[in-house]
Amino acid sequence: MKLSAHQLNFLPYPGLIAKINYSDIFIYLTKIQFEKKSWQSRNQIINGNKPLLLSVPIKNKDKIQNIENIEINNEMDWKKKHLKSISINYKKSKYYFKYINFFEELYSKKWEKIEDLNIYILKYLIKKLNIKTKIFSDKDYNFKKKKNDLLIDMCIATKASCYISNKGSQNYVDLQIFKQKKINHYFINYKNIEYEQGQNKFIPNLSIFDMLFFCGQEKTENIVKNTNNLEVSKNYEKL
């Protein structure tokens, strides 16, 4: 049983969805510290030949808070700006009319917390891409520990025999602890597979909605579910 976990992201990029699909169980984390200028409240879409950053404004952004407590600053007209940017930049994409309705509905709602907004988006993607991974929140458990000990606790609570970490966390994961607990551990890395974006130069690291607008559901699902598009380390080793 493979377990992975991650902070909730806004309009996540394909690599996170690929990692979720690769896992048997995924836990989204809300009881950990919110990181300013992270993908937890922003992400990129296409804007001509360059990326455009869409950010959700938050209240008390200089205060140390957990993700679950982050409130959206609705005094700023961010939803209208987001929807306009998405509409302008994807109106000529092949699947524009199939997915713009989701954003019209998304931005018609009043969102008070970043957690609720990101959960709504994640659930939509999981359903749309037919991902069968079991999805849980850290609120479903009573985790008390932090960092590497938290990862071990999550494995024990879910009876997972294996934990999957992003390549970017290689300097933070203590592989010896996993060995001691006899829990397998693998690092994973998404290869940023190129796809047609309607222009000559491919722009990587955009939201998975960029892929959906240009490629549609079937091709997007095939990309994120294809394990050949992932680099996976050997057990207890780094990539």
Q: Which residues does 120 contact at the CB level (< 8 Å), separation at least 6?
A: 106
Q: Which residues pair with 87 in a beta bridge?
A: none
pLDDT(128) > 80: yes
Task: Quote the percentage of the chain above a pLDDT of 70.
Answer: 100
Q: How confident is the model at residue 199 (pLDDT cuts 50, 70, 90)?
A: confident
User: Which residues, 6+ apart, have CB-to-CB distance to 179 below 8 Å?
Assistant: 236
10 Å Cβ neighbour count for 143?
18
Structure tokens belonging to residue 151: 């990862």
Mean pLDDT across the chain: 96
**Residue spans per domain, the chain:** 2-232
Q: What is the pLDDT of residue 155?
A: 98
pLDDT at 37: 87
Give tens-digit pLDDT for 28-87: 999 999 998 899 999 999 998 899 999 999 998 778 999 999 999 999 999 999 999 999
Give how far Cα 190 sits from Cα of 42, 44, 64, 73, 122, Å.
20, 17, 30, 33, 18
Q: Which residues contact 30 (CB under 8 A, 6 or more apart)?
A: 8, 66, 67, 68, 115, 137, 138, 139
Query: Token digits for 138?
Result: 């850290």
Query: Does pLDDT of 89 surpass 80?
Result: yes
Question: What mean pLDDT do residues 135-145 have?
Answer: 95
* pLDDT of the residue at 60: 86
CB proximity list for 193: less than 8 A, separation 6 or greater: 14, 223, 229
Q: DSSP 3-state assignment of 95?
A: coil
